[in-house]
Amino acid sequence: MDYHVLGKTGLFVTRCFCGLTIGLLQSNRPLAEGAGVIWAALDAGGQFY
């Protein structure tokens, strides 16, 4: 994962990969497939806030 400082907060965060496009309404993916994308990102060290 590529981490960056969030503004002047001193917090390190990962880049957003537009998680909203993985659901049924956005890209016609089944729920299980969209959840798999999120779990893969979390396993790789991604963060969601």
Strand, coil or helix: what is 3? Answer: strand
pLDDT of 16 = 66
- State how far the alpha carbon of 3 is from the alpha carbons of 10, 21, 26, 34, in Å: 12, 22, 27, 23
Summarised one tens digit per residue, pLDDT across range 1-49 is 778 888 899 988 877 655 556 666 666 778 888 788 888 888 988 777 6
User: What are the residues whose beta carbons fall under 8 Å from the beta carbon of 25, sequence distance 6 or more?
Assistant: none
pLDDT of 9 = 92
49 in Cβ contact with 12 (< 8 Å): no
Is the overall model pTM greater than 0.85, yes or no? Answer: no
